[in-house]
Amino acid sequence: MSEHFDKGMAVRREVLGDSYVDSRATAGFDAPFQEFVTEGAWGSVWARPNISRRERSMITLALLAGLGNFEELALHTRATANTGATREDILEVMLHVAVYAGVPRANHALKVVKETLAEMEGEA
């Protein structure tokens, strides 16, 4: 594996948690995809020092909500527990999504976020 893979795996575990990452083990049919995501997204982008994990988390939430990737939105809402993005940050992101991607997208995204935050509170 490459340096980007090793760095990416460390960042991926910090942000998403060991349990999630272990469930996406880099073996089997989708191993090349998992390696690509780990190197590219996590080792090349998330590992960059120029902006904080909190800021990356907020950007990610906005993009996922704006594009309608709601399953990933729930995953990255959970990740805010590890990135420092607060509930208030998430609400501000969704307001931005409403303006730039549309109220229906933001409305559905808020539904997903609220459900995910409630699950997280129940697990605490």
- Let me know whether 58 and 42 are in one domain: no
How do residues 36-76 score in pLDDT, each as one tens digit? Answer: 999 999 999 999 999 999 999 999 999 999 999 999 999 99
**pTM passes above 0.85:** yes
- Let me know whether 58 and 114 are in one domain: yes
- Let me know whether 34 and 59 are in one domain: no
- Let me know whether 41 and 57 are in one domain: no
Share the mean pLDDT of the chain: 95
Q: Does the pLDDT of residue 26 top 70, yes or no?
A: no
What total number of domains does the chain contain? 2
- Let me know whether 31 and 73 are in one domain: no
CB-based contact 43:11 (threshold 8 Å): yes
Domain range for 93 is 53-123
Cα–Cα nearest to 58, from 101, 92, 103, 109: 92
Distance of alpha carbon 116 from alpha carbon 110, whole angstroms = 10
